[in-house]
Structure 1
């Protein structure tokens, strides 16, 4: 299924017909529908209808694809790992990486003859999850793809891919939809406070939908209210509350990095991007800041964000970040 804001990009792509590359890299902001676009393309490539408008949704190939068992399609995602000791039932947990063993199995599939005498299509998402060994194993196939093999790579952070991988793909940068179109779609989904959620998501409607959960919204507003008054901020108390509420480190660092971005943006451009509903509080705080100190702290938050998918002592992370925040936003020395 395509989203309404993707129709023009879709028409531009399929108008190329047989000139489509064997490897396409879909890039763009998280939450704009890149994965849906990639899956729609995969189904279209496998569709056996003779009609010009593909995928048809009713041929054997489409029905198999939609049921998740088309023999000529593979979707490669980070491996699922088991954790736990011998005495406990192991729990399954998604890994952060696509492994070399997964790519080797994929290469076996790619070199087989197609079951339907057509294409063999592989979707890899997110492509930046390929570890180094996996990326190098995939590169060999991208350099010399067997006839009929096509690859769709979906990436939120395409610059993290090996340059050699990027050079073997044609990049298609999908765009954020116009604000009014995004708001109309969110209204159709019954999302309340759509404007604030869309702003926080940087204009990405699917990300805005994910952020619209009432509990998450309440936690975010409470967190930002405390950031707005750093003199009264109690880092130990707030860290304890966040930990008890089971707020993920990734979510807290996301809120914090966006708040810092808006503080810096106010100093440079007198505008905010992510939290327009907090513009008054941000403006009051921004007038006293040391921009160099603020940006150094922002780098610290981004480093914590990168590590948020690893096992962490969340409460300790929150304490360190919040004490660091107090130091970063203390009034600049005018003397």
Structure 2
């Protein structure tokens, strides 16, 4: 089912539904529901009784199979779990070349229902070089009736050759009032504050375990204490977060620090505006900008979950040092 703010995007896509390419790339900010939209596209491609606007009916046998997760003509290509008998499971967060080879074999088979076959790839930027090159071979000449739907939060991290084989379809972020109404029905506490913190991306708030961690992270940034940094780093490590999440939280905080220093409104952490205002005058803006560049340099490692504790500890202690010698 589409989200309330996705109706206009669906109407745009429906106009070209009969002319969809072999590879469609859905792009847009993380947390706006691209995965939900992609699955609806896949279901609609497989639906045997679609509506006039090509939307899946939700009632036919193909739709029931898809919703139950066992449609024979659908495959999901996503990162695998890395497991160790002596350690908790962690996300490897890379799509392996072996998984791509399985998809290629699937794509070369005849459809069970005599219609289309669909492969959803998400997030596409977790393809490593080997798996991306393997996928490229079939994207260059996709078999008849096979559709690849790729989802990317950061499409610039994809190989240029992958990008050139896909038709990009950017999804629109929701208007604030629409997102707030949806969050209220989802039972999110303090939706205005949380939506601001998520940069207007409501789906980033649907994981209830993340919201308390974000708040603890913000509290440490507001009052950077060594003991609190160590405790928080341990909690983030136990939560098995990818490094990208604390990097994102920290960059948003720095954005607000720089904004406050120029008397601009705080965007992401309005409930910490007083602390941000106070801290913005305790160090020159050039320090914040330089630290932000250091964080950006870590972006290529954002999907890693190993050694997150050490990375976060270093970042937070470096952040603490921004204010060293100031009062």
1:298 equivalent in structure 2: 292
Using the TM superposition, give the Cα deviation of residue 187 of structure 1 relative to its aligned residue in structure 2, in angstroms: 0.9
Between the aligned partners of 1:298 and 1:288, the Cα distance in structure 2 is 17
1:275 equivalent to 2:269? Answer yes
2:162 equivalent in structure 1: 165
1:238 equivalent in structure 2: 228
Between the aligned partners of 1:193 and 1:202, the Cα distance in structure 2 is 14
Pick closer, same or farther for the CA change 1:22–1:98 going to 2, 3 Å. same
> 320-329 vs 106-115, which deviates more?
320-329
2:31 equivalent in structure 1: 31
Please give the root-mean-square deviation of Cα atoms over the aligned residues, in Å. 2.4
Using the TM superposition, give the Cα deviation of residue 96 of structure 1 relative to its aligned residue in structure 2, in angstroms: 1.5
1:320 equivalent to 2:314? Answer yes
Please tell me whether the aligned partners of residues 289 and 331 of structure 1 are also in contact (alpha carbons under 8 angstroms): no
Pick closer, same or farther for the CA change 1:8–1:269 going to 2, 3 Å. farther
Please identify the structure whose Cα radius of gyration is greater: 1
2:5 equivalent in structure 1: 5
Mapping 1:1-335, distance limit 5 Å: 1-49=1-49, 51-53=51-53, 54-84=55-85, 92-210=89-207, 215-216=212-213, 218-226=215-223, 233-235=224-226, 237-246=227-236, 250=243, 251-268=245-262, 270-304=264-298, 306-307=300-301, 309-312=304-307, 314=309, 316-330=310-324
SS, match of residue 83 in structure 2: strand
Using the TM superposition, give the Cα deviation of residue 19 of structure 1 relative to its aligned residue in structure 2, in angstroms: 1.4
Between the aligned partners of 1:151 and 1:66, the Cα distance in structure 2 is 18
Between the aligned partners of 1:298 and 1:118, the Cα distance in structure 2 is 50
Using the TM superposition, give the Cα deviation of residue 295 of structure 1 relative to its aligned residue in structure 2, in angstroms: 1.5
Pick closer, same or farther for the CA change 1:300–1:324 going to 2, 3 Å. same
Gaps of 5+ in 2: none
SS, match of residue 152 in structure 1: strand
Pick closer, same or farther for the CA change 1:116–1:198 going to 2, 3 Å. same
TM-score normalised by length of structure 1: 0.87
Q: C-alpha deviations, 1:269-327, integer Å up to 9, x for none?
A: 7122211222222223223432222122122334456546242172x444422332133
Using the TM superposition, give the Cα deviation of residue 45 of structure 1 relative to its aligned residue in structure 2, in angstroms: 0.3
Between the aligned partners of 1:81 and 1:91, the Cα distance in structure 2 is 9
Gaps of 5+ in 1: 227-232
Between the aligned partners of 1:124 and 1:301, the Cα distance in structure 2 is 28
Pick closer, same or farther for the CA change 1:205–1:310 going to 2, 3 Å. closer
Between the aligned partners of 1:83 and 1:128, the Cα distance in structure 2 is 25
